[in-house]
């Protein structure tokens, strides 16, 4: 069974409720999961969160830039731009979509062949 983020957080929360120190918590995780155990900084951060009163084990919603611009909507737009003008340039695609040349390259070569 794979050790997910929520599993790690649940174990850290349980150790927090038991009153274990950071070192004891990390030691227990290392003995149970070896190399798959969360890092010291992860354990430290979550123990601090629980100390501040947090009880949720799920990631909080965060707005911001998406991790990637290579999404189906952008792929469809690039496909349409190419259908309209087969000589469309990276700069023209970048201007219309506001995505990086690396993302454009990925769309063209990995998704549209």
Please indicate, yes or no, if residue 58 is contained in any of the structural domains. no
Average pLDDT value for residue range 83-108: 91
- Lowest average pLDDT, out of 4-8, 15-19, 41-45, goes to 4-8
pTM of the model: 0.55
**Cα(78)–Cα(88) distance, integer angstroms:** 9
**Cα(55)–Cα(88) distance, integer angstroms:** 52
CATH code of 20's domain:
1.10.10
- Name the residue range of residue 87's domain: 72-111
Please indicate, yes or no, if residue 11 is contained in any of the structural domains. yes
Please indicate, yes or no, if residue 101 is contained in any of the structural domains. yes
Q: pLDDT tens digits, residue range 23-56?
A: 999 999 999 888 888 999 999 999 999 999 999 9
Q: How many domains does the chain have?
A: 2
CB 64 within 8 A of CB 73: no
């Amino acid at each position: 069974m794979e050790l997910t983020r929520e599993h790690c957080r649940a174990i850290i929360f349980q150790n927090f409720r038991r009153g274990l120190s950071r070192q004891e918590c990390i030691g227990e995780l290392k003995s149970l999961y070896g190399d798959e155990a969360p890092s010291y900084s992860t354990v430290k951060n979550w123990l601090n969160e629980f100390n501040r009163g947090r009880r949720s084990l799920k990631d909080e919603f965060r707005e911001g830039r998406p991790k990637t611009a290579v999404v189906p909507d952008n792929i469809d737009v690039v496909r349409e731009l190419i259908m309209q003008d087969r000589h469309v340039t990276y700069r023209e695609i970048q201007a219309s979509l506001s995505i990086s040349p690396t993302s454009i390259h990925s769309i063209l070569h990995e998704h549209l062949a």
